[in-house]
Structure formats: structure tokens, C-alpha cells
Amino acid sequence: MNTLFEILPLLVPVLLIDIALAVAAVRHILRHPCYRFGNKTMWLVTVVVLLLFGPIIYFVFGKGENE
């Protein structure tokens, strides 16, 4: 239990950044119809299910070129 309290100051910023990336990715997916591959449903599921890495995967591989 003490270990959790020791790493909590490091975990909070990581979680906040992760949530902000997820919100940004979902907003971008809902507003833009162009993707390098896949469709809107696939990217929404990827971002929501793989919360830690999903937004990063979307911004690296899925975001369309013409924005």
C-alpha cells in the first residue's frame, strides 16, 4: 500500500495526459472523415479499448494526411 502512495505523484500526470490524448483522438475521429486506413468505427474502438496506446496509434498511423 505504501508503494502505491509513493508512485501516485508520477501516475497522476501520466493518467491526465492519457485521458487528454484519448479525448483529442475521439474528437478528431468524429470530426474528420479521412483516415489512412480503416474507418471511423474501427478507430473509435481502438482508441477506447486500448486507452493507453490507442490514441498514440491513431495519431501515428490513422490520422489522414489532408487535415
pLDDT digits (tens, 9 = 90+) for 7-64: 989 999 999 999 999 999 999 999 988 888 888 999 999 999 998 899 999 988 888 7
Q: Are 29 and 43 in contact (CB under 8 A)?
A: yes
Confidence of residue 67 (pLDDT cuts 50, 70, 90): low
Q: Are 47 and 22 in contact (CB under 8 A)?
A: yes
Res. 1: pLDDT tops 90: no
Q: Are 47 and 26 in contact (CB under 8 A)?
A: yes
Q: What is the structure's pLDDT at 66?
A: 63
